[in-house]
Amino acid sequence: MDMSTSPVGPKMKLVMVGNGMAGVRTLEELLKHAPGLYDITVFGAEPHPNYNRILLSPVLAGEQTVDDIVLNPLDWYRDHAITLHTGKKVVKIDRNARFVETADGVRAGYDRLLIATGSNPFILPVPGADLPGVISFRDIADVDAMIQASSQYRHAVVIGGGLLGLEAANGLMKRGMEVSVVHIAPWLMERQLDEPAARLLQKSLEEKGMKFLLQKQTAELVRGESGRVAAIKFKDGDSAPADLVVMAVGIRPNTELAESAGLHCNRGIVVNDTMQTFDPRIYSIGECAAHRGIAYGLVAPLFEQAKVCANHLAQHGIGRYQGSITSTKLKVTGIDLFSAGDFMGGEGTESILYSDPIGGVYKKLVIKDDKLVGGVMYGDTVDGAWYFSLLRDGKNVNELRDHLMFGQDHCGNLGHSGINKAATMTDDMEVCGCNGVCKGDIVKAIREKGLFTLEDVRKHTKASSSCGSCTGLVEQILAVTAGGDYSATPKTKSMCGCTDHTHEDVRAAIRQNKLLTIPQVQQFMEWDTPNGCASCRTALNYYLISTWPGEAEDDPQSRFINERAHANIQKDGTYSVIPRMWGGNTTPSELRRIATVAEKYNIPTVHVTGGQRIDLLGVKKEDLPKVWADLDMPSGHAYGKALRTVKTCVGSEWCRFGTQDSTRMGIDLEKAFFKMWAPHKVKLAVSGCPRNCAEVAIKDVGIIGVDSGWEIYVAGNGGIKTEVAQFLIKVKTEAEVLEYSGAFLQLYREEGRYLDRTVHYVERVGLDYVKKKILEDAEGRRALYERLLFALSVERDPWVERAREGKLAHEFEALTV
């Protein structure tokens, strides 16, 4: 039943209490999914429409204005027929009669209620806390009060040396006040920084003129003659002048309203994975909600919650929020700081340190069981996003270890070095080379469309949506433009928007439950869409045929066009045809046939590829079966996530340096693995001596013949991410080359995520794991090789089937009316 469109009868009533970022984001998502499902009423205690609270610091610092940070102007509410009550505080929820009531008696009935009341600043219970001139740093009114005070008074004291306190202090200093920061802990930002990083931060803030009173506990705020606060007194007897006191000692979930309505609260309004409170008609999200014991205070997790909540409100009933891991960046201009995860380290962890106190750079990476579990960076945070993604994906970093500290550019990410300091880039500098997107385009889209997540930026600008190598840079631009805490993401990465399951979950389910068709998988795993999308269908098809060769049937409609037509689509809709030339060898007869075909079908371009083959470009689709028939050569699979070329040199047969017959070895490998589908394309090469003319170092499997046998290298890559292949083993015989290479490829076929090249797969699991499976476990290796041979035994040459046997003829025939 589809209830999301044109409901019959009166609309349901949705009331939202709180008009902040998380709540309004929920409404935006809801309006996308199910416009017109609800009559929506919003109550906000502040007199403003929804604004970006993260950017209060730049407003205080005079770098932006209040207008700049409004996310949803009043027009937005009007355009979506949302009734907005600003400046009205809801004080009562009647759960039986189902209405809410404000302090001044405005009532609104609800079918669904969303509590998004956010949090309150914690006020220290000390004498004088209620004096004029004592404020917190939470909303526009606080910022106004601070700006006002800065024009009349001189001494400001900020209590709290955390993220918010330092941002407030920085802003007040920029407004011309003398600012002291009082902090109870021995160093600043102790929840985000370790001591050395905090000392560097303190030093550079002191150079800007900020004063620090560390390990000081506030005893009292002293009233002056005017009735306003005049000084602060500490427990050790010291005191300091204070015309303005800003308390930034933490926030508390604002649960007052929920508690008064009898909803279960425990350090936040307790919600389940669909963001429902103990009263299922009432949802809660944002800083007021406690999900699995955590009340999040950063934007990205809250937007994840918003997505799930909106989905549920739209009655799709799918999607669960499963928690987030978060990272932090301080928004003080000129200070570069990043921390994530367990940055302190401790038992069972190791730390890699880089410390340059004079240059003001400090980095610490914490590693546990070969995985990055946390890090803190000061002074140079260029690689923050990269570290964060390593951390989030739980990648094995053992092999990166030596280079890890020096960042992504030192780990094989060619082509982008030197241009990845997002903040220093000019607007016309290109960020995404695939889609031609400049920094200015991205900044503009983020500002104008109110984007917060990488996913949003990708959708709107296409930046980093193709090869993905500029992802870190886009994330940095997002951080600089939209505010600091952009980059937290769900703990696990789902396959696509159609499901919450990961690639690994899906593969396991296919194997354990013997699922044989895409609809079976989608039903069993409760897919969110009726028949998936272009991303998941292609992946599922591969997982099925690779798990159950000979049993699961290939679904052409779930193949990308190239693999459906068995040729490469070109920009004008024609196709290219690359016949297989075993090991790069060809014959006069083959060349004659290729020439004849090119002339007969008016093929405009004949091109020699980098993989030692010949490419016929510009073939009309309806000609494909005839071209294949006339060529009478095997499919080169140049269009597929499959075995492509096996590049060879001429080896000992001709070359005066050759030590092994590399051409023969290449042909044997290519014939053995012909028709092999894989998570992504697979390229092999064989060189006959270490001069390596076949360039094996950038192949998925590269073989080098030496006098005493063959060296096998794996997981090289010559594409987007140039990566030198790693040495796996040296073997003696040709049979061993086949078995070890085949076993490695089968391991990748069974465990690689769809669209991961071998380099990504090995990066994820680690070469040690591969060695354990292939080198140490002889029986396992043979079993892997056997499984590969079996899978290949049931595959047929797709060109023969289509050119000679008329398989799927409709694919190549147009209709005419």
Partner 1 sequence: MTKWLEVCDLGDIPRLGARVVNHGDLAIAVFRNADDEVFALEDRCPHKGGPLSQGIVHGKRVTCPLHGWNIELVAGCAVPPDVGCAREFPIKLEDGRVWLDATMA
Burial of 492 (0-12, 13-18, 19+ CB in 10 A): middle
Per-position x/- string for 276-315, each x denoting binding to partner 1 as judged by CB under 8 A, each - no binding: ----------------------------------------
Asked if 459 is part of the footprint of partner 1 (rule: CB under 8 A), the reply reads yes
Asked if 105 is part of the footprint of partner 1 (rule: CB under 8 A), the reply reads no
Asked if 523 is part of the footprint of partner 1 (rule: CB under 8 A), the reply reads no
Structure tokens at 748: 């990748």
Stretch that binds partner 1, among 258-266, 532-540, 596-604, 691-699 (CB under 8 A): 532-540
**Cα–Cα distance for residue pair 194/376, rounded to 1 Å:** 8
Structure tokens at 164: 């918010």
Q: Name the residue nearer to partner 1 (CB basis): 454 or 565.
A: 565
Are 745 and 678 in contact, with CB atoms under 8 Å apart?
A: yes
CB of 211 to partner 1, least distance (A): 48
Placement of tokens 């697979």 in the chain: 682
CB of 568 to partner 1, least distance (A): 11
CB of 311 to partner 1, least distance (A): 16
Q: Name the residue nearer to partner 1 (CB basis): 136 or 574.
A: 574
Q: Name the residue nearer to partner 1 (CB basis): 457 or 725.
A: 457
Asked if 1 is part of the footprint of partner 1 (rule: CB under 8 A), the reply reads no
Angle formed at CA 553 by CA 548 and CA 557, multiple of 5 degrees: 130
Taking CB under 8 A as the criterion, the residue among 97, 358, 608, 814 binding partner 1 is 814
Q: Name the residue nearer to partner 1 (CB basis): 126 or 561.
A: 561
Q: Name the residue nearer to partner 1 (CB basis): 349 or 535.
A: 535
Q: Name the residue nearer to partner 1 (CB basis): 608 or 815.
A: 815
Per-position x/- string for 70-89, each x denoting binding to partner 1 as judged by CB under 8 A, each - no binding: --------------------
Q: Name the residue nearer to partner 1 (CB basis): 123 or 561.
A: 561
Phi-psi region of 167 (alpha: psi -120 to 50; beta: other; left: phi over 0): alpha
Q: Name the residue nearer to partner 1 (CB basis): 358 or 817.
A: 817
CB of 36 to partner 1, least distance (A): 17
The whole-angstrom distance between residue 238's C-alpha and the CA centroid of its chain comes to: 49
Placement of tokens 């689509």 in the chain: 569
Please list the alpha-helical segments (H only) found in 574-721: 588-600, 624-631, 651-654, 662-673
Stretch that binds partner 1, among 206-214, 340-348, 361-369, 525-533 (CB under 8 A): 525-533
The whole-angstrom distance between residue 675's C-alpha and the CA centroid of its chain comes to: 33
Q: Name the residue nearer to partner 1 (CB basis): 2 or 428.
A: 2
CB of 4 to partner 1, least distance (A): 13
**Residues whose CB falls within 8 Å of the CB of residue 578, separated by 6 or more in sequence, listed in order:** 568, 609, 613, 614, 615, 616, 636, 638, 639
Cβ-count burial 509-525 (b if 16+ within 10 Å, e if not): bbeeeebbebebbbeeb
Q: Name the residue nearer to partner 1 (CB basis): 419 or 561.
A: 561
Asked if 530 is part of the footprint of partner 1 (rule: CB under 8 A), the reply reads yes
CB of 533 to partner 1, least distance (A): 5
CB of 815 to partner 1, least distance (A): 5
> How many residues line the site for partner 1 (CB under 8 A)?
26
**Cα–Cα distance for residue pair 168/384, rounded to 1 Å:** 24
Stretch that binds partner 1, among 159-167, 378-386, 523-531, 784-792 (CB under 8 A): 523-531
C-beta atoms surrounding 294 within 10 Å: 14
**Cα–Cα distance for residue pair 295/269, rounded to 1 Å:** 9
Is 696 strand, coil or helix? helix
Taking CB under 8 A as the criterion, the residue among 424, 426, 512, 816 binding partner 1 is 816
Q: Name the residue nearer to partner 1 (CB basis): 571 or 656.
A: 571
Q: Any idea what DSSP says for residue 432?
A: E
**Cα–Cα distance for residue pair 671/678, rounded to 1 Å:** 16
**Residues whose CB falls within 8 Å of the CB of residue 242, separated by 6 or more in sequence, listed in order:** 133, 155, 156, 157, 180, 221, 229, 230, 231, 232
Q: Name the residue nearer to partner 1 (CB basis): 455 or 805.
A: 455
Asked if 810 is part of the footprint of partner 1 (rule: CB under 8 A), the reply reads yes
Q: Any idea what DSSP says for residue 69?
A: G
C-beta atoms surrounding 802 within 10 Å: 21
CB of 460 to partner 1, least distance (A): 5
CB of 205 to partner 1, least distance (A): 40
CB of 573 to partner 1, least distance (A): 4
* Residues 422-451 close enough to bind partner 1 by CB under 8 A: 449
Angle formed at CA 138 by CA 137 and CA 139, multiple of 5 degrees: 115
Is 687 strand, coil or helix? strand
Q: Name the residue nearer to partner 1 (CB basis): 352 or 533.
A: 533
Stretch that binds partner 1, among 246-254, 366-374, 530-538, 584-592 (CB under 8 A): 530-538
What DSSP string runs through 148-191? HHHHH--EEEEE--SHHHHHHHHHHHHTT-EEEEEESSSSTTTT
Placement of tokens 């209709």 in the chain: 815
CB of 527 to partner 1, least distance (A): 11
Taking CB under 8 A as the criterion, the residue among 345, 532, 625, 705 binding partner 1 is 532
Beta-ladder partners of 172? none
CA distances from 408 to 369, 381, 414, 420 (A): 21, 12, 9, 10
* Residues 633-692 close enough to bind partner 1 by CB under 8 A: none
**Cα–Cα distance for residue pair 188/197, rounded to 1 Å:** 9
**Cα–Cα distance for residue pair 618/607, rounded to 1 Å:** 11
Q: Name the residue nearer to partner 1 (CB basis): 557 or 589.
A: 557
Q: Any idea what DSSP says for residue 697?
A: G
> Strand 211-214 vs strand 218-223: parallel, antiparallel, or unpaired?
unpaired
CB of 470 to partner 1, least distance (A): 17
CB of 535 to partner 1, least distance (A): 9
Placement of tokens 């907005």 in the chain: 84
Taking CB under 8 A as the criterion, the residue among 531, 602, 733, 793 binding partner 1 is 531
Q: Name the residue nearer to partner 1 (CB basis): 184 or 533.
A: 533
Q: Name the residue nearer to partner 1 (CB basis): 348 or 530.
A: 530
Per-position x/- string for 460-499, each x denoting binding to partner 1 as judged by CB under 8 A, each - no binding: x---------------------------------------
**Residues whose CB falls within 8 Å of the CB of residue 207, separated by 6 or more in sequence, listed in order:** none
Asked if 809 is part of the footprint of partner 1 (rule: CB under 8 A), the reply reads no
Per-position x/- string for 533-572, each x denoting binding to partner 1 as judged by CB under 8 A, each - no binding: xx--xx-----------------xxx-xx--xx---x-x-
- 159: nearest Cα among 61, 250, 246, 252: 246
Residues that bind partner 1 (CB under 8 A): 449, 459-460, 529-534, 537-538, 556-558, 560-561, 564-565, 569, 571, 573, 810, 814-817
